[in-house]
Amino acid sequence: MINIRCETLPDYTVIAEVNTLTFGQENEAKLVEEIRRSDRYIPELSLVAEIENVVVGHILFSYIDLVDEKTLQVLGLAPLAVHPQFQRQGIGSTLIKAGLEIAEAKKEAIVIVLGHPHFYTRFGFQSSVAYEIESPFPVPEDVFMIKTLQSYRKNYKGKVVYPSAFHRV
Ligand SMILES: CC(C)(COP(=O)(O)OP(=O)(O)OC[C@H]1O[C@@H](n2cnc3c(N)ncnc32)[C@H](O)[C@@H]1OP(=O)(O)O)[C@@H](O)C(=O)NCCC(=O)NCCS
């Protein structure tokens, strides 16, 4: 039913359309395009969900900075969009799980997300404060979350710094 695969160049237009429709603004679509043009882009972690060969969802994981004594690159999950007519059918969850599997295979250490705890805790995300990871945004503790992967070590702590493309969302 749902097919998950990496994005390819011909998908760029429909990915922008799905993001714009889902969020009701162009900011997220532009964010995806800016990240794609940057050195933070990870081609195998920009995934689309298809139903009957039509793209109905998209997820992007890209590199963001975790700054302490050293700066480490970690994964940021954003944006995630499922076409409004296809929400609550498991597509968003399938995209997240597929991305997390790829992140594990790439031996990434952590994934960071700003989102609804009700949704993301089911995939193992927890408030970042328990890991001494600080949000750059003035948001409630429970919405800034991390998921540790097998390569996580205790030196993954500090303040998260997003590339400038995110400041325009
Ligand atoms: C959030 C979103 C990605 C979930 O994708 P989905 O395919 O609908 O989700 P799934 O079917 O896999 O999982 C269902 C869960 O998604 C969440 N969800 C789905 N639609 C939602 C909506 N309109 N508002 C809030 N949460 C929603 C709920 O937590 C729901 O769980 P529940 O049924 O136990 O309440 C999708 O609804 C979406 O694109 N929303 C708008 C954009 C957005 O908020 N993106 C996330 C940014 S962090």
Query: Please, what are the domains in the chain?
Result: 2-167 (3.40.630.30)
pLDDT tens by residue, 73-100: 999 999 999 999 999 999 999 999 999 9
Q: Provide the pLDDT for residue 48.
A: 98
pLDDT tens by residue, 38-76: 999 999 999 999 999 999 999 999 999 999 999 999 999
Say yes or no: CB of residue 119 within 6 Å of ligand 1. Answer: yes
Average pLDDT over every residue of 96-118: 98
Average per-residue pLDDT for the chain: 97
Separation of 155 CA from ligand 1 center, angstroms?
A: 32
Residue 168 has pLDDT above 80, yes or no: no
Q: Provide the pLDDT for residue 169.
A: 79
Say yes or no: CB of residue 118 within 6 Å of ligand 1. Answer: yes
Say yes or no: CB of residue 24 within 6 Å of ligand 1. Answer: no
Say yes or no: CB of residue 126 within 6 Å of ligand 1. Answer: no
Q: Provide the pLDDT for residue 136.
A: 95
- For the chain, first and last CA: distance in Å? 32
CA distance 149 to 136: 22
Separation of 14 CA from ligand 1 center, angstroms?
A: 20
Q: Provide the pLDDT for residue 97.
A: 98
Residue 22 has pLDDT above 90, yes or no: yes
CA distance 156 to 148: 10
- CA-closest residue to ligand 1 atom 23: 87
